[in-house]
């Protein structure tokens, strides 16, 4: 039986892969190129996290992540008229992946015995770094470097996770609330144009 955090991991992989493939389609990538972008988006953050945690990157021990990314490509191909035509498709899947992967990163760091502040950093890396690589590969300024609330949403989710732990919530409920807080904060920031102040140079 798949536990909740594994379900978050697989769902986040599917969502992030779709977000990458969706952007690749806008750049007129071929199917293989789109698949590569999807895979990089899905596993990039987790790969850096695992390297920093001094463990073998997760996708090298289980082929399911590459298979899920392939299913995401198939999903976009079959439903391309709906997926590509909807302007908010990228945002929805990217925000879902961000929330779920943020929690996955926190959980993994805690399982390795690291303190909560390290777990929050690992959650942020897991959630945001794959999207950064995706944006670089498709020649876009990474979301994490724009004024959008993106990586900061993961930090907020980590703080919410910690508060839930202090309140002795059950692990699944803690994970669900933290993931939801990341998604909601990202959605509210986009809806109401909440952003980080821009650092301006000399005029």
pLDDT (0 to 100) of residue 101 = 95
pLDDT digits (tens, 9 = 90+) for 127-179: 999 999 999 999 988 878 876 789 999 999 999 999 999 999 999 999 999 99
pLDDT digits (tens, 9 = 90+) for 34-73: 999 999 999 999 999 999 999 999 999 999 999 999 999 9
Q: What b/e string do you get for 23-47 counting C-beta neighbours within 10 Å, with b at 16 or more?
A: bbbeeebeeebbbbbbbbbbbbbbb
Check residue 28 and give left, alpha or beta (phi > 0: left; psi -120 to 50: alpha).
Answer: left
Distance separating alpha carbons of residues 130 and 193, to the nearest angstrom: 23
How many CB atoms sit inside 10 A of residue 119's CB? 21
């Amino acid at each position: 039986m798949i536990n909740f955090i594994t379900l978050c991991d697989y769902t986040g992989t599917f969502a992030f892969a779709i977000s990458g493939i969706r952007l690749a389609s806008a750049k007129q990538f071929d199917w293989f190129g789109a698949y590569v972008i999807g895979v990089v988006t899905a596993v990039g953050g987790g790969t850096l996290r695992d390297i920093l945690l001094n463990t073998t990157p997760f996708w090298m021990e289980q082929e399911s992540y590459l298979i899920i990314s392939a299913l995401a490509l198939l999903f976009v191909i079959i439903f391309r008229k709906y997926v590509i035509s909807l302007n908010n498709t990228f945002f929805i899947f990217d925000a879902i992946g961000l929330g779920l992967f943020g929690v996955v990163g926190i959980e993994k760091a805690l399982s390795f015995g690291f303190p909560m502040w390290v777990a929050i950093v690992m959650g942020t890396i897991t959630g945001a770094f794959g999207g950064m690589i995706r944006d670089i590969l498709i020649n876009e300024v990474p979301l994490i470097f724009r004024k959008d609330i993106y990586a900061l949403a993961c930090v907020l989710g980590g703080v919410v996770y910690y508060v839930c732990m202090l309140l002795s919530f059950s692990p699944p409920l803690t994970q669900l609330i933290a993931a939801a807080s990341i998604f909601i904060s990202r959605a509210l920031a986009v809806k109401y144009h909440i952003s980080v102040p821009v650092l301006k140079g000399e005029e």
